[in-house]
Amino acid sequence: MIYTVTFNPCLDYVVGVDNLTLGAVNRVSTEAVMAGGKGINVSIVLKNLGHPSCALGFLAGFTGDEIAHRLQLQGVDTDFIEVSHGMSRINVKVKSNEETEINGIGPDIAPSDIEALYTKLDALTSGDILVISGSVPTALPGDIYERIMERLEGRGIRIVVDATRDLLMNVLAFHPFLIKPNNHELGDIFDVELKAREDVVPYARKLQELGARNVLVSMAGEGAVLVAENGDVIESPSPQGTVVNSVGAGDSMVAGFIAGYLESGGSYEQAFRMGVCTGSASAFSLGLAERDQVEELLTTICQ
């Protein structure tokens, strides 16, 4: 079974505004509301690709109810902890001449809520896949990634981590199955600028030396690189297409990699191709990738 953890789920309110003007009344030209959060995105795309998963995390208030409702409508299994105080956040994403985001705070998560999450994670068994991704809200301990991985260490659970800087570096000692920094995040870790695919390989190998099993580096229009635990280095340019919405593309790549890995019986080559095409399919559409979009890219571009 695949599980995802989203510590701070949200409702994304995405609006289009022609020529946003600060200090004035602006009228939206387009609007959409969707359940958001990196782990939630992974679960939605996995469902679209035909792979069930269970979304874990914390929900609160009427916004939490709406997040759960929207995921139910999309056929995503959930097992969230219901938090007593506060409400799940609303993130406003304004698309105008430039993109602007205003992100909410989230609920007050009590120690008992954290223990409830640990109890759910304790039920995972050998062969399960766990995706931990995204930022950690201030209501949680800053080392919760490490606490979870230490708790599950040695149990045969393949853990995927999509996080930045210290959140990522501090879990490498627990040998995550897959990490997915982008080239800018990888460059920030080592204080270098990485623009070409070949440039990222030695730094991805350094993360392997520190404990990561597989390192998948996304590079937007430049493509992606996988440095696999079997020693293979696999790279690809991005498929050609018009980027409509980059939100969720990285999460889609993670979901595609997992789906490709499972469908191929453990082929890193196929997992990588599926990941690249799934991330691109999301970037080329208003919503998250659907199976037919990914299949088209696999057939016409990514083989």
What is the domain-level CATH number for residue 219? 3.40.1190.20
Query: Among 77, 232, 251, 292, which one carries the catalytic annotation?
Result: 251
Classify residue 165: in a domain, yes or no. no
Classify residue 156: in a domain, yes or no. yes
Q: Which of 116, 131, 160 is the last residue of a domain?
A: 160
Same domain, 247 and 152: no
Same domain, 190 and 82: no
Nearest to 302 by CA among 284, 276, 269, 266: 276
Same domain, 254 and 132: no
Mode of pairing for the β-strands spanning 214-218 and 158-162:
unpaired
Strands of the chain (E only): list them: 2-6, 10-17, 28-36, 53-59, 77-78, 81-82, 89-95, 99-102, 129-133, 158-162, 178-179, 214-218, 224-227, 233-236
Is 108 considered catalytic here? Answer: no
Q: Which of 160, 193, 221 is the last residue of a domain?
A: 160
pTM: 0.93
User: Along the 303 residues of the chain, how does pLDDT read in single tens digits?
Assistant: 999 999 999 999 989 999 999 999 999 999 989 999 999 999 999 999 999 999 999 999 999 999 999 999 999 999 999 999 999 999 998 989 888 989 999 999 999 999 999 999 999 999 999 999 988 998 899 999 999 999 999 999 999 999 888 889 999 999 999 999 999 999 999 998 888 888 899 999 999 999 999 999 999 888 899 999 999 999 999 888 888 878 889 999 999 999 999 999 999 999 999 999 999 999 998 889 999 999 999 987 645
* Domain enclosing residue 118, as ranges: 1-20+29-160
84 with 60: CB under 8 angstroms?
yes
Query: Can you say how many angstroms the Cα of residue 136 is from the centroid of all Cα atoms in its chain?
Result: 13
Nearest to 6 by CA among 55, 51, 47: 55
Cβ within 8 Å of residue 68, ≥6 positions away: 59, 78, 80
Classify residue 172: in a domain, yes or no. no
Same domain, 183 and 301: yes
88 with 118: CB under 8 angstroms?
no
The tally of domains found in the chain comes to 2
Same domain, 147 and 185: no
Same domain, 129 and 201: no
